């Protein structure tokens, strides 16, 4: 049906999106979206089996070079398994044809008490589109306008859901994953458990950066 793809014409699942005003919801239409049930429970389990070994038994850390983040582990992971490769194929339509996602995923493992503080992804290392699959725990992703902080959008990220940020939603708004004590979607409490996200990004236009980002 129209609006059900992942391209610029796509529309978010209305039940999974709240906005500070109808005008803002309209302005970010097609630019911030969320799709519930993007992967099945079976696919989610398979994806976790493929990416969890890459997270190792490393300690969870705090803080990061470009975003305030606590209680997390992460890795950049090539997608060699069948489920990972199928997922990459299915998120590719969210990206402009000439700016496809990098063939690896950023795997971010957040403890129940972890958060990703408000930030804009580095324009040096990330291109125009961000697509994130959420696994294990629900959470709330909040966008807030850099120019008018009273303008916000919240996406309810259920396990198996996919969100896409692009255009104004990617460049003109911060995004954050709310910490457990603030994890509400309107009146709905969204208790946080351990959450694993697989995040897809493309390269910025122009030159590719000479050095990859360094941890901490
Ligand atoms: C990030 C980020 C959001 C998420 O790591 O830059 O915004 O879905 N993560 O975990
Ligand atoms: Mn980010």
pLDDT in tens, 54-79: 887 778 887 766 678 889 999 998 89
Q: How far apart are CA 129 and CA 163, in angstroms?
A: 11
Matching residue, tokens 């490769």: 85
- Asked whether residue 4 is assigned to any structural domain, the reply reads no
Give me Rg for the CA atoms of the chain. Answer: 16
Q: Greatest CA span in the chain, whole angstroms?
A: 46
**Within the chain, where are the H helices?**
22-27, 41-55, 82-91, 168-171
- What Å distances lie between residue 160 and 78, 100, 170, CA to CA? 20, 22, 21
Is the Cβ atom of 67 under 6 angstroms away from ligand 1?
A: yes
Residue 1 CA to ligand 1 centre (angstroms):
29
Please give the tally of structural domains in the chain: 1
Question: What residues make up the domain containing 77?
Answer: 17-96+105-201
Tens digits of per-residue pLDDT, 83-139? 999 999 999 999 999 999 999 999 999 999 999 999 999 999 999 999 999 999 999
Expressed in angstroms, the distance from the first to the final Cα of the chain is 44
Ligand 1: residue whose CA is nearest its atom 6: 121
Are the C-beta atoms of residues 33 and 5 closer than 8 Å to each other? no
- Give me the chain's average pLDDT, please: 91
- Asked whether residue 9 is assigned to any structural domain, the reply reads no
Q: Which residues pair with 18 in a beta bridge?
A: 154
- Asked whether residue 119 is assigned to any structural domain, the reply reads yes
Q: How far apart are CA 93 and CA 77, in angstroms?
A: 20
The DSSP symbol for 214 reads: P
Ligand 1 mutation pick, 72, 75, 116, 213, max ligand atoms within 8 A of CB: 116
The DSSP symbol for 56 reads: T
- Asked whether residue 208 is assigned to any structural domain, the reply reads no
**Within 70-159, where are the H helices?**
82-91
Ligand 1: residue whose CA is nearest its atom 9: 116
- Asked whether residue 211 is assigned to any structural domain, the reply reads no
- Asked whether residue 51 is assigned to any structural domain, the reply reads yes
pTM given for the model: 0.92
3-state secondary structure 161-208: CEEEEECHHHHCEEEEECCHHHCEECCEECCCCCEEEEEEECCCCCCC
**CATH number of the domain bearing residue 51:** 2.60.120.590
- Asked whether residue 12 is assigned to any structural domain, the reply reads no
Is the Cβ atom of 132 under 6 angstroms away from ligand 1?
A: yes
Q: How far apart are CA 77 and CA 79, in angstroms?
A: 6
Residue 88 CA to ligand 2 centre (angstroms):
18
- Asked whether residue 63 is assigned to any structural domain, the reply reads yes
Indicate which ligand has the atom closest to the C-alpha of 133. 1
Tens digits of per-residue pLDDT, 150-164? 999 999 999 999 999
């Amino acid at each position: 049906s129209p609006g059900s793809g992942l391209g610029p014409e796509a529309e978010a699942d209305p039940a999974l999106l709240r906005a500070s005003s109808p005008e803002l919801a309209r302005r970010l239409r097609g630019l911030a979206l969320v799709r519930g049930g993007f992967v099945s429970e079976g696919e989610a389990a398979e994806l976790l089996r493929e990416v969890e070994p890459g997270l190792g038994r490393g300690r969870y850390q705090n803080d990061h070079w470009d975003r305030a983040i606590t209680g997390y582990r992460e890795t950049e992971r090539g997608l060699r398994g069948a489920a990972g490769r199928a997922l990459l194929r299915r998120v590719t339509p969210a990206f402009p044809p000439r700016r496809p996602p990098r063939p690896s995923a950023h795997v971010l493992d957040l403890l129940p008490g972890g958060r990703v503080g408000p930030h804009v992804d580095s324009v040096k290392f990330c291109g125009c589109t961000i697509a994130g699959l959420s696994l294990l725990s629900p959470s709330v992703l909040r966008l807030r306008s850099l120019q008018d902080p009273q303008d916000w959008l919240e996406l309810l990220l259920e396990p198996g859901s996919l969100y896409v940020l692009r255009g104004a939603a990617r460049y003109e708004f911060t995004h954050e994953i709310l910490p457990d004590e603030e994890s509400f979607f309107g009146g709905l409490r969204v208790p946080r458990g351990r959450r694993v996200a697989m995040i897809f990004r493309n390269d910025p236009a122009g030159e590719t950066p000479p050095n990859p980002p360094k941890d901490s």
